[in-house]
Structure 1
């Protein structure tokens, strides 16, 4: 007789999750981490943002906003990284991404909000193109650096009394899933000097020790630029 675990595995294999992703998208990076932490297998569906594939009519049927990531789980189609991760948290409770303690949960939501509302949207592809058009190509990096430094300053203050091995204690939670891609971008794309952000700098190193994070790295995706 098949065990309940093997039955679940067979069902998941028959109804494989699909993730529409772009290798360098930090929003997609977040979802890849969440999927890996929960041990969920998925089919990777690349969407090349630089070629404008997010504006193809077929893709817009999945996400009328025209951006990645998009998760397809059988009949369910979810876009927006936060919505996807909360969906995964509700449907696949293995390895919970939120702590039970309500105060610790609130800190996770606050850190997450700083990343997805005060940092990342202000340096996405559309904004950078607009900054380049108005201020010239040389205006892009100073703009991004100012946005990231402001957000990182807030995060450093928020996490000062709450960080343990990870952002909000000694377990990986939602805040870490959002912080890791933002830190990776700051280091590898935008040349942010991290001396003034010791907590975030330490977390950045720690995240590379976690297999679920390493496997989700942009450079490890099938559509990564080689």
Structure 2
């Protein structure tokens, strides 16, 4: 058995955070890719690992560690000397954690709305109403989210609200970069806060929402730096982007360009 086993999904933004952290620290792990639309995350063997029925879950020497932000901090706790991703100053650590909480509260859930409407909705539309309701009831943490979306997608008001939250999230992120002097959230060094927001910015760019930081060039420069890291290439293997999984999104992106 490998010391680390990661149960995740290629396109899952929360999974991408953890994959990046593992790669940034040079930790070898066995990756189990779950097919979320086949319900792999709801099968008894996975629910025994993560009763919440979501990804990711890290199994370290046979013990489960859950929630992407918790996993990231856990990896830093047990390997603080390897590619440190957390400041040594307790006040800076508190600042980093406060920023991570904001990322988890505002832009991370907001990006799910356009993601589902643009990429995942056709999967649910192909179901009967009974099949769709059964899927909703099977989701320990996503039941209400899916019911709100329904088989017709999130209405314009929901999409507008999500885009507004993303715009505010990007604005806050740009302010952090400005206040720290950049190029990263806390200044010159990459931290867990950067990794926390990375999948949101990458997802937004992938589904044609990059215009939301057109007036904040520091965000674009930050994204370029993240993409240049070795951990990024290892994290975003082919099939990790929605445009790689869903060809119709690639055509929309080409049209928009």
CA contact (8 A) 1:207 1:213 kept: yes
Deviation track 1:87-128 (CA, whole Å, cap 9, x = no partner) reads 111112211110112333233222212211222124436476
CA distance in 1, matches of 2:57, 2:11: 15
The change in CA–CA distance for 1:100 and 1:64 in structure 2 (over 3 A counts) is same
Residues 123-202 of structure 1 correspond to what in structure 2 (within 5 A)?
A: 123-124=111-112, 126=142, 129-133=146-150, 136-137=153-154, 139=156, 141-189=159-207, 191-193=209-211, 194-202=213-221
- C-alpha deviation, 1:136, in angstroms: 3.9
CA contact (8 A) 2:204 2:210 kept: yes
In the alignment of these two chains, the number of paired residues is: 211
Unaligned runs of 5+ in 1: 1-13
CA contact (8 A) 2:111 2:200 kept: no
CA distance in 2, matches of 1:144, 1:50: 23
CA contact (8 A) 1:69 1:81 kept: yes
CA distance in 2, matches of 1:199, 1:58: 44
In angstroms, what is the RMSD of aligned CA positions? 2.4
TM-score, normalised on structure 2?
0.73
Deviates more, 1:39-48 or 1:113-122: 113-122
Residues 38-187 of structure 1 correspond to what in structure 2 (within 5 A)?
A: 38-93=25-80, 94-124=82-112, 126=142, 129-133=146-150, 136-137=153-154, 139=156, 141-187=159-205
CA distance in 2, matches of 1:143, 1:47: 30
CA distance in 2, matches of 1:24, 1:34: 16
Runs of 4+ in 1 over 6 A off after TM superposition: none
CA distance in 1, matches of 2:166, 2:237: 19
Partner of 1:29: 16
CA contact (8 A) 1:144 1:190 kept: no
Unaligned runs of 5+ in 2: 117-141, 247-257
Deviation track 1:27-76 (CA, whole Å, cap 9, x = no partner) reads 11010111011110111101112222211111111111110000011122
CA contact (8 A) 1:145 1:190 kept: no
Residue 209 (structure 1) aligned with residue 228 (structure 2): yes
